[in-house]
């Protein structure tokens, strides 16, 4: 992977900040938003994009797949989909247990990831996962 600068401890990043931190031009980031369902920055007034930490990491992962590993867009999509499937089946709930103070954020991130995955998950199974994660969060709060 390219020698990229460290990610500052911030909650939101503008598209220009992400471009600098990931060594990618802003127009490329906008294009990737269309190609990768996992990349959905929040848009505020005037359609300004604000990326969160996990989205910045996703941009770096996409960059690595495309530029360093030589995947095509479709190949990178398949790699990300396979990687997300591995995380979901390997007990991703451990991330919630690792940081009780961030349990709410971690729960929401995991739910967002599940909702963004293409195919597979039904509304009932997502609701079941949500219920289980909320139970875990309440146990961590004790």
- 78 and 97 housed in the same domain: no
Which residue(s) pair with 48 in the sheet?
Answer: 44
Do 118 and 55 sit in the same domain of this protein? no
d(CA 43, CA 57): 18
pTM score above 0.75: no
Task: Report the pLDDT averaged over residues 99-113.
Answer: 56
Question: Do 105 and 86 belong to one domain?
Answer: no
Residues 83 and 17 in one domain: yes
Domain tally, the chain: 2
| 61 and 85 co-located in one domain | yes
Q: pLDDT digits over 86-98, tens only?
A: 665 555 444 444 4
pLDDT at 34: 94
Range of the domain at 72: 1-90
Q: Are residues 56 and 72 in the same domain?
A: yes
Whether residues 72 and 115 fall in one domain? no
pLDDT tens across 39-82, in order?
A: 999 998 888 999 999 999 999 999 999 999 999 999 999 998 88
Are residues 39 and 99 part of one domain? no
Question: Do 97 and 111 belong together in one domain?
Answer: yes
Out of 48, 64, 90, a domain closes at 90
Q: Are residues 13 and 75 in the same domain?
A: yes
Asked whether the beta carbons of 40 and 84 are under 8 A apart, the reply is no
Residues 84, 104, single domain; the answer is no
Instruction: Indicate if 62 and 76 belong to the same structural domain.
Output: yes
**How many Cβ atoms from other residues are within 10 Å of residue 1's Cβ?**
10
| 2-11 residue pLDDT tens | 688 898 988 9
Give the number of other CB atoms < 10 A from CB of residue 79: 16
């Amino acid at each position: 992977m390219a020698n990229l600068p460290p990610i500052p401890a911030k909650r939101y990043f503008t598209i220009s900040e992400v471009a600098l931190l990931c060594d990618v031009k802003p127009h490329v980031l906008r294009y990737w938003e269309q190609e990768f369902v996992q990349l959905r920055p929040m848009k505020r007034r005037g359609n300004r994009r604000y990326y969160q930490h996990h989205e910045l990491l996703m941009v770096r992962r996409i960059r690595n797949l495309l530029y360093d590993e030589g995947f095509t867009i479709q190949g990178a999509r398949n790699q990300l989909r396979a990687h997300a499937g591995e995380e979901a089946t390997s007990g991703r709930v451990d991330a919630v247990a690792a940081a009780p103070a961030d349990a709410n954020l971690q729960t929401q991130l995991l739910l967002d990831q599940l909702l963004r995955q293409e195919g597979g998950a039904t509304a009932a199974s997502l609701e079941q996962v949500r219920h289980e994660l909320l139970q875990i969060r309440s146990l961590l709060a004790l």
